[in-house]
A and B are shown apart, each in its own frame.
Chain A
Amino acid sequence: MSKVVTDVICPFCGTLCDDIEVVVSDDGKKIEDVYNACAIGAEKFLHAQAPDRVKRPRMQQPDGSYKEVSYDEAVEYTAQMLYKAKKPLMYGWSSTSCEAQSIGHEIAEKVGAVVDNTATVCHGTTLIAVQDVGIPSCTLGEIKNRADRIIFWGCNPCHAHPRHQSRYSVFPRGFFTNKGHTNRKVIVVDPRVTDTAKLADYHYQVEQGRDYELLSAFRVALRNEPLPEVVAGIPREKIIEGAEVMKSGRFGIIFFGMGVTQSLSKNHNIDNAISLTKDLNEFTKFSIMAMRGHYNVTGSGQVLGWQFGFPFSVDLSRGFARYNPGETSSNDLLVRGEVDAVFVIGSDPGAHFPISSVKQIAKLPSVCVDPHITPTTEISKLHVPVAFVGVEVAGNCYRMDNVPIEARKVVDPPEGVLTDVEFLTRVNARLDELMAGGK
């Protein structure tokens, strides 16, 4: 008889759906089916069962092949690498639990590392904008219960956050929105005709890279000030109409993604989007929220915040925390050759960093902690496979609206495979010995 585990959270994207049901075999070892999750979410669970999964650490050999090593050897290599390095980079953290992050930070503090998370290449610009102008925001349940104006700017939830619209933003019926999507008007701003844009009441096909102008134009329109005939490829009348739609709502929200955070103007786009939201609060209630990608990238920013005071790119190498994105951020450090070892956990810079950074990682002593084989594990000197957080081990995670939800354990990890917390705890203990003068 199989059993069903309910209220499971999905450890894939920042939507952090917590209504997943997983069918597990009688012996509690095998996942048979996953209900409620979207296609990518379900795949994350099922992937844990892949027969070709790596179950022991692997050390890269000079000829590029891999040799299986024990966890003891992996702990030793990692501790020695971090101990010897002058300024190691400890990157990632977005697909692991807050508990693991916390131990990682203790290690980083000991060895004088730079701790950075994936925000450095996605919503880091958002975090910088928030440091400039703040952020009026809300929880996703507020959107479900109150919002009648939904704006998706530079994001495509249909593909990146598949259940976002049905759980929170467009379709659900809430307390003051009991007609669901018919209560709501949806605006999409995107140069592409995405599937999200196709669903919208209004699609603003902004010229590539001209978001800043369009945001400014909306702010001008709100004040009934004169506008040029066309801004960022959008005719004046459409801009005025859009501003009216926003103003006339009872409760509105702008969701924005990497289309604006990583396009021309970067943090200034977000600064302007937040300022637009603030302006709208003079007419009605309005909020803005980043569509965070990894399921716990938000948590990494939170834990770094309460432990060191900064949400990403935190340099602990001088014995106190420094923060200066552009200087203390991963890619800047890598391309300038300023770090002498790389530790990666819960992310895949090999797939997402510029090639110049990836080449640098390949040159350095490096460890990648990841249940999967990824481009990063393929260039790392040591690959440490671990249990899947949220599938094989529990731990806390923060949703894109900063709401913390505890991930559940559904099945046991393969025999002998360590969790992130166990591996980091052992590295930490070994470092204590090394620092106390042991060998």
Chain B
Amino acid sequence: MAEYIIKNGFVFDPVQGIKGDKADIAVKDGKIVKSTEVSSKAKVIDASGKTVMAGAVEIHAHIAGPKVNEGRNYRPEDKLFQYRPKKGSVRMAGGFSIPTTFKTGYEYARMGYTTAMEAAMPPLYARHVHEEIRDTPIIDEGAYPVFGNNWFVLEYLKNREIENTAAYISWLLQASKGYAVKLVNPGGTEAWGWGLNCLTIDDPVPYFDITPREIVTGLIEANEYLGLPHSIHIHQNSLGNPGNYTVTLDTLRLAEGFKAKNKFGREQVMHSTHLQFHSYGGDSWANFESKSKEIMDYVNKQKNITVDTGCVTLDETTTMTADGPFEHHLTELNHLKWANVDVELETAAGVVPYIYSPDIKVCEIQWAIGLELALMAKDPMRCFITTDHPNAGPFTRYPRIFKWLMSEEARKKQIESFKHREKMIEATHIAGIDRELSLYEIAQMTRAGPAKALGLSHQYGGLAPGMDADIAIYDLNPEKPHKPEDIEKAFSAAAFVMKTGVPVVVDGEVVNNGNKRTIWVKAKVNENPQVMRDIRDKFLKYYSVTQANYDVSSHFVPNPHVIEVDATH
């Protein structure tokens, strides 16, 4: 494989603690190596006057699978003005909030993202998720199967059977080629099977006689029993409702007393996702307000929690989540079209378009909350930037979010343009925050931090020798004065991006479809005849496919990157 040396750039690498010093990065056989290890034939890439970072890691986005595709197919309007023609080996690509698979890969790569995780995979639809992942060029991807409403989990945890839960998780990760344990509205989505919901962590799940509290703690225990690379990844109950911050705090507290047990360098036992949607005060939309401070004060103190923001980008977008009851609630609120799928024994999902308008007070407040969470984070290695794509806005807006976070001036300008700015300022903290995130902190929040939380810090998120050669160069000189707009521009179209040693973006344009991999976790456990018998039994009686037709065969995962875990005790 070719050798490269990237010279004279301003390097930002939290893994090695490099904060904008000039350094050379050498690449050989798809990995980063010491500069002395490449020959004189190494191709030189001149990065002088530019910012150099590792490829970014997306910890939470909805980019592949049934609900994403429903979003595409039922929103032809999302493609208007968005199509780019085919060019050379680059396929035609379109869509704004729910881009086609090709566009998803290309747009992430153009922003310097080289890895992305699909945040909710219904196991029965795992094949679909993997077909889309296979068709998404360049970026490495994994997918989190959902467990929080799964009948096996509900039944085992009702009886506090942690070992059986763990054995089942191991089986399902293998069957679905999944990466981590995801929970979406634990218990609430099963309740949605009857049109109901669980809005607090103590609301019992109909019939199953268990509460969200027990589901969350049980899955933390099972996850740590297995020692999986990622912690449980939770979308909490009562998403999107005024006053829900108390439910959020109740859930976060469930992590107290647990310690991460794994060999991947991960320290958290719970990742709480798109926290913006869970940090609401007030008891109606009339007195709706930010509770980001209460939430972040707690998060800052608890070392065993990581979060991502779910920043609102003020766009017309498409919401989609396995929180079925929430999407029904949303369609009742905005009267836009509603898609829903309840998935036997496992989960549900809904899709509803949404417009975050700068002329609507609630949207303005939501915008502020997302940014406040990042700006109040004491440890940028535990707070990651997301939009919960496409829920709070498309991932293609990350550069704009970086601009807002890195520039008080840009935030002021945005606030000035709001219709209800006084009311919004009153209900939030944003106007009083003068913090401006540095490039180093951006690298922590988009690279080193998420990679570490995912248990992948040995290969992603940094530029230390031995790590994958995933590198992004941005046309931004940290030593020269620049306008806020320059930040957005630089991050929107990287000057150069390399994925495992292959240049994939040059001057902001995709030049190569890369050699993308699918990452999944194989966790080995002790033989467990009881769980195997339960699985057989449920397939015979309640599933609509046979057990033999459930496993995702290797042909759906043509270029796998398997992370192995030995959890035999």
Residues in A lying within 8 Å of B, measured CB to CB: 6-7, 9, 18-19, 98, 102, 109, 127, 130-142, 144-146, 167-168, 173-176, 250-251, 278, 281, 284-285, 287, 301-303, 305-311, 316, 319-321, 323, 396, 398, 401-406
Q: How large is the interface on B (under 10, 10 to 19, 20 to 34, 35 or more residues)?
A: 35 or more
Considering the chains assembled together, what is the distance between the CA atoms of A303 and B331 in angstroms? 27
Q: Please tell me which one of the listed residues B86, B102, B331, B342 contacts residue A287 in the complex, with CB atoms under 8 A apart.
A: B342
Q: Please tell me which one of the listed residues A167, A306, A319 contacts residue B92 in the complex, with CB atoms under 8 A apart.
A: A319
Considering the chains assembled together, what is the distance between the CA atoms of A127 and B345 in angstroms? 27
Q: Please tell me which one of the listed residues A6, A98, A311, A398 contacts residue B73 in the complex, with CB atoms under 8 A apart.
A: A311
Considering the chains assembled together, what is the distance between the CA atoms of A109 and B344 in angstroms? 37
- In the complex, how many angstroms separate the beta carbon of B173 from the nearest chain A beta carbon? 18
Flag if B546 contacts A281 (CB, 8 Å).
no
Which residues on A sit within 8 Å (CB–CB) of B348? 138
Cβ of B85 under 8 Å from chain A = yes
- In the complex, how many angstroms separate the beta carbon of B67 from the nearest chain A beta carbon? 10
Which residues on A sit within 8 Å (CB–CB) of B344? 138-142, 144-145
Flag if B72 contacts A321 (CB, 8 Å).
no
Task: Give the number of A-B contacts (CB < 8 Å).
Answer: 182
Which residues on A sit within 8 Å (CB–CB) of B100? 306-309
Flag if A320 contacts B193 (CB, 8 Å).
no
Flag if A308 contacts B542 (CB, 8 Å).
no
Which residues on B sit within 8 Å (CB–CB) of A302? 69, 73, 128
Flag if B95 contacts A309 (CB, 8 Å).
yes
Considering the chains assembled together, what is the distance between the CA atoms of A229 and B343 in angstroms? 40
Flag if A402 contacts B128 (CB, 8 Å).
yes
Flag if A305 contacts B72 (CB, 8 Å).
yes
Known A130-B73, A134-B338, A139-B341; contact A9-B101, beta-carbon cutoff 8 A: no
Q: Please tell me which one of the listed residues A137, A281, A402 contacts residue B125 in the complex, with CB atoms under 8 A apart.
A: A402
Cβ of B351 under 8 Å from chain A = yes
Contacts A136-B340, A284-B195, A311-B73 known; 14 new A-B pairs at CB < 8 A = A19-B546, A130-B73, A130-B74, A133-B338, A134-B352, A138-B348, A142-B193, A287-B340, A307-B91, A309-B72, A309-B73, A323-B76, A398-B128, A404-B125
CB-contacts of B2-23 with A (<8 A): none
Q: Please tell me which one of the listed residues B68, B76, B193, B337 contacts residue A285 in the complex, with CB atoms under 8 A apart.
A: B193
12 contacts between A and B (CB under 8 A): A102-B135, A134-B352, A137-B341, A138-B342, A139-B124, A139-B344, A141-B344, A141-B544, A146-B194, A287-B342, A307-B100, A320-B84
Considering the chains assembled together, what is the distance between the CA atoms of A265 and B328 in angstroms? 27
Flag if A139 contacts B343 (CB, 8 Å).
yes
Flag if B127 contacts A396 (CB, 8 Å).
yes
Flag if A309 contacts B76 (CB, 8 Å).
yes
Cβ of B553 under 8 Å from chain A = yes
Chain B, Cβ-Cβ closest to A318: B85
Chain A, Cβ-Cβ closest to B546: A7
What are the 3 tightest A-B residue pairs by CB atom distance, in nearest-first order?
A141-B344, A134-B337, A141-B544
Chain A, Cβ-Cβ closest to B542: A175
Considering the chains assembled together, what is the distance between the CA atoms of A135 and B70 in angstroms? 10
CB-contacts of B320-370 with A (<8 A): 328, 331, 336-345, 348, 351-352
Q: Please tell me which one of the listed residues A131, A175, A303 contacts residue B74 in the complex, with CB atoms under 8 A apart.
A: A131
Which residues on B sit within 8 Å (CB–CB) of A311? 73
Which residues on A sit within 8 Å (CB–CB) of B66? 402
Cβ of B285 under 8 Å from chain A = no
Considering the chains assembled together, what is the distance between the CA atoms of A171 and B268 in angstroms? 48
Cβ of B94 under 8 Å from chain A = yes
Which residues on B sit within 8 Å (CB–CB) of A102? 135
Which residues on B sit within 8 Å (CB–CB) of A133? 337-338
Binding site secondary structure of chain A: mixed
Flag if B542 contacts A306 (CB, 8 Å).
no
Flag if A306 contacts B343 (CB, 8 Å).
no
Chain B, Cβ-Cβ closest to A285: B195
Which residues on A sit within 8 Å (CB–CB) of B194? 146, 250-251, 285
Considering the chains assembled together, what is the distance between the CA atoms of A133 and B73 in angstroms? 12
Flag if B131 contacts A307 (CB, 8 Å).
no
- In the complex, how many angstroms separate the beta carbon of A260 from the nearest chain B beta carbon? 19
Flag if B338 contacts A307 (CB, 8 Å).
no
Considering the chains assembled together, what is the distance between the CA atoms of A319 and B91 in angstroms? 10
Residues in B lying within 8 Å of A, measured CB to CB: 64, 66, 68-69, 72-76, 78-79, 83-86, 91-92, 94-95, 98, 100-102, 124-125, 127-128, 131-132, 135, 151, 192-195, 207, 328, 331, 336-345, 348, 351-352, 541-546, 548-549, 553, 556
Which residues on B sit within 8 Å (CB–CB) of A284? 195
Flag if A396 contacts B546 (CB, 8 Å).
no
Chain A, Cβ-Cβ closest to B94: A309
Flag if A403 contacts B85 (CB, 8 Å).
no
Known A320-B94, A396-B127; contact A281-B195, beta-carbon cutoff 8 A: yes
Flag if B101 contacts A141 (CB, 8 Å).
no
Considering the chains assembled together, what is the distance between the CA atoms of A128 and B547 in angstroms? 35
Which residues on B sit within 8 Å (CB–CB) of A109? 86, 91-92
Flag if A316 contacts B548 (CB, 8 Å).
no
Considering the chains assembled together, what is the distance between the CA atoms of A135 and B549 in angstroms? 27
Chain B, Cβ-Cβ closest to A395: B555
Flag if A175 contacts B541 (CB, 8 Å).
yes
Which residues on B sit within 8 Å (CB–CB) of A134? 74, 331, 336-340, 351-352
Which residues on A sit within 8 Å (CB–CB) of B553? 406
Considering the chains assembled together, what is the distance between the CA atoms of A152 and B91 in angstroms? 42
Chain A, Cβ-Cβ closest to B556: A396
Flag if A405 contacts B549 (CB, 8 Å).
yes
Q: Please tell me which one of the listed residues A167, A251, A306 contacts residue B193 in the complex, with CB atoms under 8 A apart.
A: A251
- In the complex, how many angstroms separate the beta carbon of B394 from the nearest chain A beta carbon? 14
Flag if B193 contacts A310 (CB, 8 Å).
no
Which residues on B sit within 8 Å (CB–CB) of A250? 194
Considering the chains assembled together, what is the distance between the CA atoms of A127 and B339 in angstroms? 12
Flag if B195 contacts A316 (CB, 8 Å).
no
Which residues on A sit within 8 Å (CB–CB) of B86? 109, 319-320
Flag if B84 contacts A9 (CB, 8 Å).
no
Considering the chains assembled together, what is the distance between the CA atoms of A134 and B332 in angstroms? 13
Considering the chains assembled together, what is the distance between the CA atoms of A308 and B556 in angstroms? 20
Flag if A98 contacts B337 (CB, 8 Å).
no
Considering the chains assembled together, what is the distance between the CA atoms of A19 and B337 in angstroms? 36
Considering the chains assembled together, what is the distance between the CA atoms of A284 and B339 in angstroms? 17
Chain A, Cβ-Cβ closest to B95: A309
Flag if A321 contacts B79 (CB, 8 Å).
yes
Which residues on B sit within 8 Å (CB–CB) of A307? 91, 100-102, 135
Flag if A7 contacts B76 (CB, 8 Å).
no
Chain B, Cβ-Cβ closest to A18: B549
* Residue from A18, A402, A403 having most chain B Cβ neighbours under 10 A: A403
Which residues on A sit within 8 Å (CB–CB) of B92? 109, 308, 316, 319-321
Chain A, Cβ-Cβ closest to B98: A309
Chain A, Cβ-Cβ closest to B338: A134
Known A134-B331, A284-B195, A319-B86; contact A306-B72, beta-carbon cutoff 8 A: yes
Flag if B342 contacts A139 (CB, 8 Å).
yes
Flag if B338 contacts A278 (CB, 8 Å).
yes
Known A139-B341, A139-B344, A404-B131; contact A281-B328, beta-carbon cutoff 8 A: yes
Flag if A136 contacts B339 (CB, 8 Å).
yes
Considering the chains assembled together, what is the distance between the CA atoms of A290 and B342 in angstroms? 15
Chain A, Cβ-Cβ closest to B552: A406
Flag if B345 contacts A141 (CB, 8 Å).
yes
Which residues on B sit within 8 Å (CB–CB) of A142? 193, 342-344
Flag if B135 contacts A167 (CB, 8 Å).
no
Considering the chains assembled together, what is the distance between the CA atoms of A302 and B73 in angstroms? 8
Considering the chains assembled together, what is the distance between the CA atoms of A27 and B314 in angstroms? 64
- In the complex, how many angstroms separate the beta carbon of A136 from the nearest chain B beta carbon? 4
Considering the chains assembled together, what is the distance between the CA atoms of A195 and B360 in angstroms? 55
Flag if A18 contacts B73 (CB, 8 Å).
no
Which residues on B sit within 8 Å (CB–CB) of A138? 340-344, 348
Q: Please tell me which one of the listed residues A7, A98, A167 contacts residue B544 in the complex, with CB atoms under 8 A apart.
A: A167
Considering the chains assembled together, what is the distance between the CA atoms of A131 and B72 in angstroms? 10
Flag if B76 contacts A310 (CB, 8 Å).
yes
Considering the chains assembled together, what is the distance between the CA atoms of A404 and B130 in angstroms? 11
Which residues on A sit within 8 Å (CB–CB) of B102? 307
